[in-house]
Amino acid sequence: MKKTALVVCPGRGTYNRAELGYLAKYAAKQAALISQLDHTRADLNLSTVTELDSEANFSSRIHLKADNAAALIFAAGITDFKAINRDKFELVALTGNSMGWYTALGCADVWSANTAMRIVSSMAQLTANEPGAQFIYPLVDENWQFCTERQQLVNAQIAQHQDELFMSIYYGGYAVLAGTKSAVSAAIAALPPCDDRFPMLLNGHAGFHTSLMQTASASALQQWPAQHFSAPSLPLIDGRGHIWPADVKNPEQLQQYTLQHQVCQSYNFSLALQVAVKEFAPEHIILLGPGGSLGGAVAQSLIDINWQGLSSKQDFVAAQAEAMPYILSMGIDEQRQAVII
């Protein structure tokens, strides 16, 4: 009998040094799709995903360039999605984190793969040219228990830098903040260091999911009218926790949300994930690649609502030790095999 599954798409920053060669390793059976995506990128006079993925060495200058990173992440996500064994899993819904929303739209046939690649590349260029910066700070302790003091510290910084610093992404046990470079620098200096690496500036990121993106949003709305948006083939849960039902045609609303609302306002990935599990009760959650970093934020979002009795990092680790883990990451070889075979 098939198992029901929610599919989750990762955001920017998930194609890193360790992911170089991801497409070559995992997407061999999707050669025709990769060829299409390469052709689209070539038409845009941009490096193809095959060229980028097959570089001899990882280069921050090349691979973390906004439109290159976005293209690689989208290509990895959609080829992973196509590789899911549909005889084993019934896919009940799709969601994603930040840029993962675009990948979800491509997987759900709102856009063709070629159109999705064009929009992903375009949005990466438009938003990268906007001002600001982005950083991440944990709101949980080492046991993934919510820390009220850290939330208060973050709230104080947002209040102190009103209209310059914003909550960008609610990302499981982490706050992703964005704003003007001066406000971000001041907040990073003010917040107490923790875990030897936070607060962490996200290199190459602008003021994503804030009002600093208004110009990019206006350009995108003009460049990509509603006619490019089709009804989704699977239910979608967006960054407000709103459900877009399958086969319901609302291109204008979907365009406005995708190119205006979520570009310029906070993206609540935690809520999207929580709504998805409550409304669709999937037997498994499948995380698309590249990489496997999404797992922690997903688990923390579930712990926050005590989903299936999860209340700590230890609970999650124990649950994942089962023969068939609840969360299956396609960027982890052993778990990937459970998804594709």
Reading the block at residue 219, the tokens are 């350009």
Q: Greatest CA separation found in the chain? A: 55
C-alpha to C-alpha distance for 251 and 206, rounded to whole angstroms: 28
Q: DSSP per residue over 181-233, as a string? A: HHHHHHHHHHSPPBTTTBSEE-TT--STTSGGGHHHHHHHHHHS-GGG----S
C-alpha to C-alpha distance for 67 and 291, rounded to whole angstroms: 18
Domain ranges for the chain: 3-129+213-340, 133-205
- pTM of the entire structure? 0.97
C-alpha to C-alpha distance for 331 and 341, rounded to whole angstroms: 15
Please give the CATH number for the structural domain made up of 3-129+213-340: 3.40.366.10
pLDDT digits (tens), the chain, 341 positions: 899 999 999 998 889 999 999 999 999 999 999 999 999 999 999 999 999 999 999 999 999 999 999 999 999 999 999 999 999 999 999 999 999 999 999 999 999 999 999 999 999 999 998 999 999 999 999 999 999 999 999 999 999 999 999 999 999 999 999 999 999 999 999 999 998 999 999 988 999 999 999 999 999 999 999 999 999 999 999 999 999 999 999 999 999 999 999 999 999 999 999 999 999 999 999 999 998 889 999 999 999 999 999 999 999 999 999 888 999 999 999 999 999 98
Question: Does 133-205 carry CATH code 1.10.10?
Answer: no
